[in-house]
Amino acid sequence: MYHPFIVGDVIYLRGLEEADLDKEYFQWFNDQENDVYTNHAVWPNTPEKMREFYDQVTQYRNDLVLAIIDKKSEKHIGNASLHRINWIDRHSKFGIIIGAKEAHSKGHATEAAKLLAKYAFDKLNLHRISLGVHEDNEAAIRVYEKVGFIVEGRQKDHFLRNGKYFDIVCMAMINKDKV
Ligand SMILES: CC(C)(COP(=O)(O)OP(=O)(O)OC[C@H]1O[C@@H](n2cnc3c(N)ncnc32)[C@H](O)[C@@H]1OP(=O)(O)O)[C@@H](O)C(=O)NCCC(=O)NCCS
């Protein structure tokens, strides 16, 4: 393992590094299939955008973006993130992407999300993590359910693709042990 930060069974999480930026990771955000359920790949990705994002998430303490690494291949297959961490009210927005498509449906997102959620509650002392997911993104909704996120509501007609509106399902998980 290279610079491991949180270690799981099949994957581990480590901090993003500059060297990650111009590898396959760059193309995840140009992949038009990723635009179906997210706002990725709407504008072309650029080295400047990658750099700006990297600087933001590594220099400040309001975001935590961890690279998901497959233990066996040592490949950077995705990212798991906490964004907009609010240290006063102790909540944050949760995000995950498995950009390497050959790594899909192997349980990697579920394992990474469980590790990061535990870290968010136990180490960062957050009370609530939440997210919004496209209503038809069944794989993502399944991942979040397996991790313990609960559906709180919907944002009606929040997402427009190919002339059709879709709802965003709002999900959250609360660490009831921490007040
Ligand atoms: C959503 C995403 C993170 C899932 O990653 P993954 O590593 O494939 O997820 P896992 O293997 O841990 O779990 C996927 C689950 O969804 C199920 N699933 C996969 N495709 C499905 C589909 N089309 N319909 C229903 N369930 C599906 C799998 O069977 C599995 O459930 P199970 O363990 O009960 O069998 C990945 O597809 C991705 O990165 N997508 C693009 C970015 C994205 O949508 N991010 C979420 C934004 S909110």
Summarised one tens digit per residue, pLDDT across range 56-87 is 999 999 999 999 999 999 999 999 999 999 99
Distance 146 CA to ligand 1 centre (A): 11
98 CA closest ligand 1 atom index: 39
Residue 158: the pLDDT is: 97
Please tell me the predicted confidence (pLDDT) of residue 178: 53
Coil, strand, or helix at residue 60?
coil
Overall pTM > 0.95: yes
Q: Are the CB atoms for 166 and 127 separated by under 8 Å?
A: no
Contact (Cβ atoms closer than 8 angstroms) between residue 130 and residue 94: yes
- How high is the mean pLDDT of the chain? 95
- For residue 99, is pLDDT > 80? yes
pLDDT greater than 80 at residue 114 = yes
The rounded Cα 5 to chain-centroid distance in angstroms is: 16
The total number of residues written for the chain in this structure: 179
> Nearest C-alpha to atom 36 of ligand 1 is from which residue?
98
Cα 97 to Cα 118, 148, 157, 177: the distances in Å are 18, 18, 23, 28
pLDDT tens track for 165-174? 999 999 999 9
The pLDDT of residue 72 is 97
Cα–Cα distances in angstroms (integers) from residue 63 to residues 81, 91, 109, 156, 164, in the given order: 7, 11, 19, 27, 32
Q: Are 37 and 134 in contact (CB under 8 A)?
A: yes
Domains present along the chain, CATH in parentheses = 6-174 (3.40.630.30)
Identify which of 25, 135, 121, 114 has the alpha carbon closest to the alpha carbon of residue 78.
25
Angle made by CA atoms 43, 47, 55, in degrees to the nearest 5: 105
Pocket lining: 107 vs ligand 1, CB cutoff 6 Å = yes
pLDDT per residue as tens digits for the range 119-164:
999 999 999 999 999 999 999 999 999 999 999 999 999 999 989 9
Look at ligand 1, atom 42, and give the residue with the nearest C-alpha. Answer: 97
39 pocket-lining for ligand 1 (C-beta < 6 Å): no
